[in-house]
Amino acid sequence: MEKIPVTTALFIAGFGPIVIEAQASRDLYGRAFGIPFKEENGGYLHTESLNGANSFALWPLSHASQSCFGTESWPRDVPIPQAWIEFDVDDVEAATAELEAQGYRMLVKNRKEPWGQTVSRFIGPEGLLVGITFTPWMRDKK
């Protein structure tokens, strides 16, 4: 693919879901993940104190489906995600149990991927495919 110099991405400046159910999103990201948000007028929550993305990818739905369900077809009874986000945590199993206790239904639980990442995944209130991960090689970065 030919590089377009003026629009070359240097880093991810921001990412976040478009929120429909504000309280459900605040509960998940603020309370469950402990992200310290600042609140602006109109309920706009943001933070600049969370380290940035270590990966940005265009993940084909067939690959996400294979990762979550072991098949290339996304099940009709599960909302199709519009995007994905992964949060690395210290203990995937404990975080998974905590989120399940709050009512989140895991699509994948505490699975060790062939590349060494441990992951649980669920659909968040905005329709994002949310991953709770332990990614060893990203922890060695300073």
Domain total in the chain: 1
Q: Which residues contact 77 (CB under 8 A, 6 or more apart)?
A: none
87 domain residue, yes or no: yes
Q: Is residue 20 part of a domain?
A: no
Task: Tell whether 49 is covered by a domain.
Answer: no
* Ordered mean pLDDT values, 10 residues apiece, the chain (142 residues): 59 80 91 92 88 82 93 95 92 93 95 93 94 87 54
With respect to residue 11, please indicate whether it lies within any of the assigned structural domains. Answer: no
Give the three-state DSSP class for 106. strand
- What pTM did the predictor assign? 0.79
Q: Is residue 28 part of a domain?
A: no
Spatial separation of the C-alpha atoms in residues 4 and 12, rounded to whole Å: 17
Does 30 reside within a domain?
no
Q: What is the CATH number of the domain that holds 108?
A: 3.10.180.10
Dihedral of CA atoms 95, 100, 106, 109 in degrees, nearest 10, equals 50
